[in-house]
A and B are shown apart, each in its own frame.
Chain A
Amino acid sequence: GENVEQHPSTLSVQEGDSAVIKCTYSDSASNYFPWYKQELGKGPQLIIDIRSNVGEKKDQRIAVTLNKTAKHFSLHITETQPEDSAVYFCAAVPRGTASKLTFGTGTRLQVTL
Chain B
Amino acid sequence: GAVVSQHPSWVICKSGTSVKIECRSLDFQATTMFWYRQFPKQSLMLMATSNEGSKATYEQGVEKDKFLINHASLTLSTLTVTSAHPEDSSFYICSARDGGQGNTDTQYFGPGTRLTVL
Contact = CB atoms under 8 A, between A and B. Distances in A.
Interface string A5-46: 000000000000000000000000000101010000111111
B109 A36 contact: yes
Interface in B26-63: 32, 34, 42-44, 46, 49
Consensus secondary structure, chain B interface: strand
Nearest to A4: B43
Given A51-B103, A99-B32, A99-B97, A44 B109 contact: yes
Contact of B107 (A41, A51, A101, A106): A101
Contacts of B108: 46
B112 A42 contact: yes
A101 B46 contact: yes
Contacts of B46: 100-101
Interface residues of A, number: 21
A34 B43 contact: no
Given A43-B109, A51-B103, A98-B32, A89 B49 contact: no
Contacts of B42: 105-106
A106 to B, nearest CB: 5
Given A49-B103, A51-B103, A100-B49, A41 B44 contact: no
A103 B44 contact: yes
B8 interface: no
A75 interface: no
B106 A49 contact: yes
A99 B111 CA distance: 20
The 4 closest A-B pairs by CB, nearest first: A43-B109, A32-B105, A43-B112, A43-B111
Interface of A: 32, 34, 36, 41-46, 49, 51, 89, 93, 98-101, 103-106
Given A42-B111, A46-B107, A100-B49, 12 more contacts: A32-B105, A34-B105, A41-B114, A42-B112, A43-B6, A43-B112, A45-B109, A46-B109, A89-B43, A98-B32, A101-B44, A106-B43
